[in-house]
Structure 1
Amino acid sequence: MQKADLYLQLRDDIRRRRWPAGRALKQQELADFYQTSRIPVRDALARLLAEGWLVSAGKASLMVPPLSAAEALELCLIRSQLEPLALRQALPQLNLAILGAAEDCLNAADAAAHDPLLQGELNWQFHQLLYQPCGMPTLLQLLQQLHLKVAMYLGFQQVQLGYADQSAAEHRALLQHLRQGRHDVALELLQQHIGDAAAALQQHLQHNGG
């Protein structure tokens, strides 16, 4: 298995909760499980640690951090400020080609109903297409880094909470508002979309001791 492939496989397995939170991950155990050597495992773990998917567990081992209701709320607050800003700045540059590409992402996400994690990635691509024309490279970079942090929570949400249908409906509505030039409504819906998703996740985590 190639290094990049192992990184992606480990990341998706974390999102699917194959490796439970709090359990120490050993390089040799992972190498045996994925039938590879320890070197690509070490490199994949280092990348996942740098991106916040893993934390130190002592004695040179790592673990998946538990999902936290407080962190989920913090990430939501950041998203609710930065993503509407990116969309607002992108609005003058949005055209039929961009909106058509965004709709293609939604169609692909609908077709990927069997794979919630792929759905999540396609939904992020939908958002990226809408934000890309904002002309603010630092903001786009921050959003990409934020997405990597949020991805664990979104993956959990897609798989465990069955949030995909509501998310898809809100994406379709957002796209329709943009097509029809209802920009204020679109910005309001985007903020609501982020807040509703976070509220459902936070409530679940609080109920389950997260």
Structure 2
Amino acid sequence: MLKKQQLYHQLKNDIQQLHWQPGIVLTQQQLSAHYGVSRIVVRDVQQQLLNEGWLTTHGKAGMQVPPFNADEADELAMLRLQLEPLALKLAAPTLSFTLLGQAEDVLLTLSSTPELSPYQRGELNWQFHRLLYQSCNKPHLLGLLEKLHQQVSRYLGYQDQTQSYTQTSATEHQQLLTLLRRGDTEGACAVLTEHIATANTKLVSYLRNK
């Protein structure tokens, strides 16, 4: 039987893989039977995913997988564009080669493990970015970015699947590392800004025209 944390990861993965399609209503009874867990475990996981924006309430008995929304994607990117370059700028002066090496290891895992699910790739993507930001020594800023990532990751996984954006993202991540190793903070922040903005433009355009 799946435990709560296992169900949390499995349900997020299944939503990202579109096993549970956007718009579908999921009841505790349905998920309990499908995953072989108690309704108490399902309730706790549903509440966690509700807080993270992966589910929305629907009536008295269910929660819905929300549709992908161009306006929401655009707003999330707007927040990223304000917060992530700030975090990188603050972190860069004390960003050690050890942290950069760890970030490169994450990129190596992403590039050498094609069987990773979209959910796993999203988690590694955030791990890469967090390694670059963590030495900013601003715990509230990092906390905001952590919460933002939980909402953004659903869209990033969707973009990887629908627009084959993985290779473009990998190239830009490598450019970030190169610039940071050179001590070019301004250049790295510019690449990060372009990285977020370009991906968002493509995603929003796709969502509005599909």
Q: TM-score range by the shorter chain?
A: over 0.9
Matches within 5 A, 1:122-201: 122-201=124-203
Q: Kindly provide the amino acid, as one letter, of the partner of residue 149 in structure 1.
A: Q
Structure 1 position 31 matched with structure 2 position 32? yes
In structure 1, the residue corresponding to 2:115 is in which secondary structure?
coil
In structure 2, the residue corresponding to 1:113 is in which secondary structure?
coil
Q: Kindly provide the amino acid, as one letter, of the partner of residue 132 in structure 1.
A: Q
Moved more, 167-176 or 18-27: 18-27
The structural deviation recorded for 1:95 is: 1.5
Q: Kindly provide the amino acid, as one letter, of the partner of residue 147 in structure 2.
A: Q
Structure 1: 4+ residue segments shifted above 4 A = none
The answer to whether the Cα contact below 8 Å between 2:28 and 2:61 also exists between their aligned partners in 1 is no
TM-score norm. by structure 2 comes to 0.96
The structural deviation recorded for 1:78 is: 0.6
Alignment identity in percent? 47
The answer to whether the Cα contact below 8 Å between 2:88 and 2:189 also exists between their aligned partners in 1 is yes
Q: Kindly provide the amino acid, as one letter, of the partner of residue 109 in structure 2.
A: A
The answer to whether the Cα contact below 8 Å between 2:87 and 2:133 also exists between their aligned partners in 1 is yes
List alignment gaps of at least 5 residues for structure 1.
none
In structure 2, the residue corresponding to 1:21 is in which secondary structure?
coil
Aligned counterparts of 1:110 and 1:154: Cα–Cα separation in 2: 16
In structure 2, the residue corresponding to 1:145 is in which secondary structure?
helix
The answer to whether the Cα contact below 8 Å between 2:12 and 2:119 also exists between their aligned partners in 1 is no
List alignment gaps of at least 5 residues for structure 2.
none
Moved more, 153-162 or 141-150: 153-162
The structural deviation recorded for 1:82 is: 0.2
Matches within 5 A, 1:1-80: 1-80=2-81
Aligned counterparts of 1:159 and 1:40: Cα–Cα separation in 2: 29
In structure 2, the residue corresponding to 1:62 is in which secondary structure?
strand
Q: Kindly provide the amino acid, as one letter, of the partner of residue 20 in structure 2.
A: W
The structural deviation recorded for 1:22 is: 1.4
Aligned counterparts of 1:121 and 1:159: Cα–Cα separation in 2: 15
Structure 1 position 85 matched with structure 2 position 71? no
In structure 1, the residue corresponding to 2:54 is in which secondary structure?
coil
Deviations 1:30-78 (CA, angstroms, capped at 9, x unpaired): 1111122212111111111122111111132110111110111111111
Aligned counterparts of 2:95 and 2:102: Cα–Cα separation in 1: 11
In structure 2, the residue corresponding to 1:25 is in which secondary structure?
strand
TM-score norm. by structure 1 comes to 0.96
How many residue pairs are counted as aligned between the two chains? Answer: 208
Q: Kindly provide the amino acid, as one letter, of the partner of residue 66 in structure 2.
A: P
TM-align CA RMSD = 1.0
The structural deviation recorded for 1:117 is: 2.7
The structural deviation recorded for 1:160 is: 2.1
> What is residue 105 of structure 2 aligned with on the other side?
104
